[in-house]
Amino acid sequence: MQRIEYPQQKDWEDILKRPTQTVSDIEETVTTIFEEVRSKGDAVIKEYTEKFDKVKLESFLVSIEEIEKASAEVSEQLKKAISLAKNNIEKFHAAQKTKRIALETMPGVSCWQEKRPIQKVGLYIPGGTAPLFSTILMLAVPATIAGCKEIILCTPPNNRGEIDPTILYTAKLCGVTQIFKIGGIQAIAGMTFGTEGIPKVYKIFGPGNQYVTVAKQLATKYGVAIDMPAGPSELLVVADDSANAAFVASDLLSQAEHGVDSQVILVSTSEKLLDDVAWEIESQIKVLPRRAIAEKAIANSRLILVNNDNEAIELINEYAPEHYIVCMKNEEFFIENTINAGSVFIGNYTPESAGDYASGTNHTLPTNGYAKQFSGVNLNSFMKSMTFQKITKEGILGIGNAIELMAEAEGLQAHKNAVTLRLKNLE
């Protein structure tokens, strides 16, 4: 990891850069595939599946037989672990339900707000080097609680045309209605436009590589909503001498092993802690099965020494990390003053892995600085707020003249007439 000591604020933008390509580098490829899927449907998706996933498929839809077979291949121990995680995620997301909000803004003018589920949602689950079945829990559980009618899942197959059995088992357990063996840009395009075999959805959820992130952003141009721009995983840890260096290193490596374009950052006021963590990383990385991936991510990463807590929190809010661990003596200061972060983990015994899997919070979070304006996925992500109003005769008499005056001032005569006719009818 690159070590940077006491950087000046004017240099923060450079030292906090993510190791990602710009959208312009990727957009041409994504746009081409979108247009081809839009015009040729399943045929071109099969071509891209053969090209990128090295398998020729006759059908994308996962059969009931495949799901049943997969269930038998998942160990009972893992099933129990998934059940525990599902239970905690259900509890946390069910608690986010809100009641109808209703009030009378003035006599005879009643307004209320209710929430309705998004009918058709698409979930993208990365496969590749790590089949993220945990993301199904994070997306399908709240979608089911919200009452989404259709929950479509796309995930890339391996070169034998198979999906990881744990993905299939978890999808069935969480109420996914259809599963498709499609990955990458073509999966997002398929759910955006709908094809002969893939349903069109109203909103797409899920993380992915930079190509998937840009594909999701492009989907919004065609009337499909997305959860957020969620790209390569990232973690920032702020720690002082109260932190356990081995724990900090393990957290940094847990994110570094996600992918070569992941990034991890340690911010500290302690030179000794930076030294100890650097040593621990060198030691722990040697035994990781995904060492080669982690090493490339670590090369994109930073150890940053700052002067004090105030400087640290300013730098953190500027970076706006996806995952953010606080291991500081003055933890309340950091909790209260953190404005930009996807999900916060506090104390030596709160590993980021807990949020990834089983504590109950959602791990689908904004990356690449988008925590400045986006929330992570939650129950409301799968719902829409709708407003209602009902005005009585008393109400229109009380509010009508104000509406007439405002409409006239804006030059919208028909708006004024809609009220004037009603007021005259009550004379």
Taking only the tens place, the pLDDT of each residue in 174-189 is 999 999 999 999 999 9
Helix residue ranges, H only, 195-329: 210-219, 245-256, 271-285, 291-299, 309-319
Question: From CA 300, how far away is CA 315, in angstroms rounded?
Answer: 18
| Torsion on CA atoms 276, 279, 280, 284, rounded to nearest 10 | 180
In a domain, 386, yes or no: no
Binding site listing: 124, 186, 209, 233, 255, 258, 323, 356, 410, 415
Whether 248 and 239 have beta carbons less than 8 Å apart is answered as yes
CATH of residue 256? 3.40.50.1980
- Sequence-distant (6+) residues with CB within 8 A of 172 are 67, 71
Residues 275 and 418 in one domain: no
Residues 244 and 212 in one domain: no
pTM of the model: 0.93
Binding site listing for Zn(2+): 255, 258, 356, 415
- Rounded to the nearest angstrom, the gap between the alpha carbon of residue 93 and the centroid of all alpha carbons in its chain is 15
**What is the dihedral sign for C-alpha 185, 186, 192, 193?**
positive
In a domain, 406, yes or no: yes
Q: Which residues of the chain have pLDDT under 50?
A: none
| Torsion on CA atoms 209, 212, 217, 218, rounded to nearest 10 | 140
Type and span of the H or E element at 325:
strand 323-327
Residues 218 and 287 in one domain: no
Reading the block at residue 350, the tokens are 């709160």
The pLDDT of residue 22 is 62
Question: From CA 395, how far away is CA 35, in angstroms rounded?
Answer: 52
Question: From CA 292, how far away is CA 419, in angstroms rounded?
Answer: 70
Q: Choose the final residue of a domain: 202, 229, 256.
A: 229
Residues 146 and 66 in one domain: yes
The pLDDT of residue 240 is 98
Binding site listing for NAD(+): 124, 186, 209
Question: Out of 322, 331, 336, 404, which one is annotated catalytic?
Answer: 322
In a domain, 110, yes or no: no
The pLDDT of residue 128 is 67
| Torsion on CA atoms 268, 249, 236, 376, rounded to nearest 10 | -150
In a domain, 381, yes or no: no
Q: What residues make up the domain containing 201? A: 23-100+117-229
363 assigned to active site: no
In a domain, 365, yes or no: no
Question: Out of 280, 323, 352, 363, which one is annotated catalytic?
Answer: 323
The pLDDT of residue 205 is 97
Residues 139 and 221 in one domain: yes
For 255: left if phi > 0, alpha if psi spans -120 to 50, otherwise beta; the answer is alpha
The pLDDT of residue 104 is 98
Question: From CA 371, how far away is CA 320, in angstroms rounded?
Answer: 5
Residues 223 and 346 in one domain: no
Q: Choose the final residue of a domain: 229, 258, 292.
A: 229
Residues 42 and 173 in one domain: yes
Whether 21 and 231 have beta carbons less than 8 Å apart is answered as no
Residues 317 and 178 in one domain: no
Whether 214 and 193 have beta carbons less than 8 Å apart is answered as no
Residues 260 and 407 in one domain: no
Residues 167 and 31 in one domain: yes
> Which among 281, 288, 301, 140 is positioned nearest to 206, based on CA atoms?
140
Residues 253 and 149 in one domain: no
Q: Choose the final residue of a domain: 204, 229, 254.
A: 229
Order of strands, sheet of 383-391, starting from the edge strand that comes earlier in the sequence: 101-106, 109-117, 383-391
In a domain, 379, yes or no: no
53-88 burial code (b ≥16 CB/10 A, e <16)? bebebeebebeeebbeebbeebeeeeeeebeebbeb
Whether 112 and 103 have beta carbons less than 8 Å apart is answered as yes
Instruction: Supply the Cα-derived Rg of the chain in whole angstroms.
Output: 25
In a domain, 342, yes or no: yes
Q: How far is CA 208 from CA 29, 95, 215, 415, in A?
A: 16, 28, 10, 47
Neighbours of 304 (CB within 10 A): 25
Whether 156 and 188 have beta carbons less than 8 Å apart is answered as no
In a domain, 11, yes or no: yes
Residues 204 and 84 in one domain: yes
With 0-12 CB in 10 A as exposed, 13-18 as middle and 19+ as buried, what is 198? Answer: buried
Binding site listing for substrate: 233, 255, 258, 323, 356, 410, 415
The pLDDT of residue 210 is 83
Taking only the tens place, the pLDDT of each residue in 82-128 is 999 999 999 999 999 999 999 999 999 999 999 999 999 999 999 86
* Number of structural domains the chain divides into: 3
Reading the block at residue 59, the tokens are 């059908």
322 assigned to active site: yes
